[in-house]
Structure 1
Amino acid sequence: MPYILRHADSGEIAACIQKNVYDFDYFGVKQWEEEGQAAADKHAFLESIGYDNPHHWHILLIKEDRVKLCNVKLKNDPSRRVRLSGDGQITVHSASERL
């Protein structure tokens, strides 16, 4: 199961432009295989996508199918953001509704 970053207050899941296995760019949830690597990358990654206050973001272990569902909801569109509520609901919001 992958590790992701989730904002403590809003529930936003960190996403960015990445490369897929075919070397094509896509916009999707950033994920790590190991919690230690997520912790090591957290500050620099959040800064690179324009977020400060990394202490507001927490590392979360999540099932692969939930990550895939988040990516489907993002629709490869950087103007969209996904949020994961405390009860597991995934919702989509405009990037203009920034934290």
Structure 2
Amino acid sequence: MPYVMKHSITGTLLASVQRNGYKLAYYGIMNWEEPPTVEQMAEALAEAGVEPGDPAGKIEDWESLSLNEHEMKMANVKLRNDPRRVVYYRNGILAAKDA
């Protein structure tokens, strides 16, 4: 099962520009095979452009969340490869909106 980072206050899932197996850039949810360590989480926030001074920049406000494969795919579908969109997970429901 993939693990993602969820902002505990807003439910936002961490997304950034990534590269697929063909080295093509896409905007998607960051994920790991195992729960991310604190170091991996800090690196992921930096890679996503979240600064420590930002409202969502405190590492302690983020937690790992296990999603099934279908939920992971749906989160990426909801992003529409658009960095202006945000996906969040609240009460077991995935939803998206424009940032």
- Shared fold (TM-score, shorter chain, > 0.5): yes
SS at match of 1:31: coil
Query: Over aligned residues, Cα RMSD in angstroms?
Result: 1.1
Give the corresponding residue for 1:92.
96
Distance 2:67 2:26 in 1: 20
Q: CA deviation at 1:50?
A: 2.7
User: Structure 1 unaligned runs (5+)?
Assistant: none
TM-score where L is the length of structure 1: 0.86
Percent identical residues: 34
In the alignment of these two chains, the number of paired residues is: 92
Distance 1:54 1:68 in 2: 25
Q: In structure 1, what residue type is equivalent to 2:2?
A: P
Give CA-to-partner distance per residue, 1:27-76, whole Å, 9 cap, x none: 000000112xx113101211232321111010111111101000000000
User: Structure 2 unaligned runs (5+)?
Assistant: 51-56
Structure 1 stretches of 4+ moved >3 Å: none
In terms of fraction of residues, the more helix-rich structure is: 1
TM-score where L is the length of structure 2: 0.86
Distance 1:11 1:43 in 2: 18
Distance 2:12 2:2 in 1: 16
Distance 1:47 1:29 in 2: 14
